Amino acid sequence: SSELTQDPAVSVALGQTVRITCQGDSLRSYYASWYQQKPGQAPVLVIYGKNNRPSGIPDRFSGSSSGNTASLTITGAQAEDEADYYCNSRDSSGNHLAVFGTGTKVTVL
Amino acid sequence: QVQLQESGPGLVKPSETLSLTCAVSGYSISSGYYWGWIRQPPGKGLEWIGSIYHSGSTYYNPSLKSRVTISVDTSKNQFSLKLSSVTAADTAVYYCARHVLNSAATYFDYWGQGTLVTVSS
């Protein structure tokens, strides 16, 4: 399957923890990567591989995976974390080198 | 610091071919990695279009494969996208990005700023 499913929207109180999930069959075989996208801007990679952060990404962002579900956790959410988040992985059928999730809008209250 | 910059017409007529180029600086395409194109229709999510290896090997999204051609010019350190027979459904912001691909994962670590292409007569 080439589908990665995310909840459309989640909200989190300032300073609290939020988990964003991504479901898909390919996640049983491949790691997910995660991107943050703010309005009018290009996506920014925040997590890749097992749980790696590119240089400059705060350590409040972390990734995990279990079965067919990958998760992005923001521990101590800040106002600047309000954005759309997309997961990304390979397709287990081999037809797609890259598939993106449906996206989750995170609102920081 | 790797930087990518898309360029090309912002308006394309229906049935014509969309052509974009991505200029890469701070890294030589010949040194490795895949290089990809991703698009995002207004208000919608991201869609992978295809990627090319520095050697010229290409991989396309099956849903677009019949209309897409991606090429690389290592002498100019740039790669290009052509999408034929465009319709209004191809209106989107088009991004180029460096594509890291291995046996365990796929991800895009450097992105261009994106360029809006509108398909309209």
Q: What pLDDT is stored for residue A1 in this prediction?
A: 52
Token pair recorded at residue B35: 């290089």
Tens digits of residue pLDDT in B38-69: 999 999 999 999 999 988 899 999 999 999 99
Inter-residue contact A106 to A20 (CB < 8 Å)? yes
The CA distance from B116 to B10, in Å, is 6
Residue A85 is inside which H or E element, if any? strand A83-89
The CA distance from B66 to B84, in Å, is 9
The CA distance from B28 to A19, in Å, is 37
Tens digits of residue pLDDT in B86-112: 999 999 999 999 999 888 889 999 999
Q: Which of B107, B99, B104, B81 is nearest to B17 (CA)?
A: B81
Please report the number of interchain residue pairs, chain A to chain B, with beta-carbon separation below 8 angstroms: 72
A chain contacts of residue B3, beta-carbon cutoff 8 Å: none
CA B11 to chain A, closest CA, distance in angstroms equals 19
Contact of A58 with chain B, judged by CB distance below 8 Å, is answered with: no
Minimum CA–CA partner of B58 in chain A: A97
**B 15-74 residues inside an 8 A Cβ radius of A:** 34, 36, 38, 45-48, 51, 59, 61-62
DSSP helix/strand/coil, B21: strand
Tens digits of residue pLDDT in A38-74: 999 999 999 999 999 999 999 999 999 999 999 999 9
Report, as an integer, the average pLDDT of A76-98. Answer: 90
